[in-house]
Amino acid sequence: MTLADALGYIAAFLVFLTFSMKTMIPLRIVGICSNVFFIAYGYLGPAYPLLVLHTALLPLNIFRLQQMLALVRQVGEATKGDLNMDWLKPFTTKRTVKVGEILFSKADKADSMYFVMTGEFQIPELGLSIGHGQVIGELGLLEPDQIRTQTVQCVKDADVLHIT
């Protein structure tokens, strides 16, 4: 076996390995390694179509890896940042909700969401409590039929910002 053959087999193995990857960053790293081995194989082989293909794919894989790393950094910064919702207030209507009042029911049409300023709500089907600073009702807006997926009931007098 020649050096070129060994490089070709390693490159082929790395391509096979990329198909088992579940996350994008390791996939790009292994893809870049396979590009490098295929470039070496294409040069020593000589196998010019592979050389040209992987010479073109290498910068693309590097570019996409940089994009993914930047996205991971941005998400990390966003989760550490101030999640203050004050910027949303000009687009909302304040609403007071009393204990026992149903904010919305499962299967209702989802046409708005709510930001809890004070008070407490509960999702009876899940036994979850929702309090100050949380958003309610956004998932129904994302549903294909825009139907509420749960019921939300007030368990402590509340003020919410209503966003249509």
Residue 82 is predicted with a pLDDT of: 59
The domain spans of the chain are 3-80, 86-163
pLDDT greater at residue 73 or residue 64: 64
3-class DSSP assignment, residue 47: coil
Q: Which fold has domain 86-163?
A: Jelly Rolls (2.60.120)
Flag whether pLDDT at 11 surpasses 80. Answer: yes
Read off the pLDDT of residues 76-94 as tens digits, 9 standing for 90 and up: 776 666 556 666 677 788 8
- Burial profile 126-152: b = 16 or more Cβ within 10 angstroms, e = fewer: eeeebeeeebbbeebeeeeeeebebbb
* pLDDT at res. 18: 92
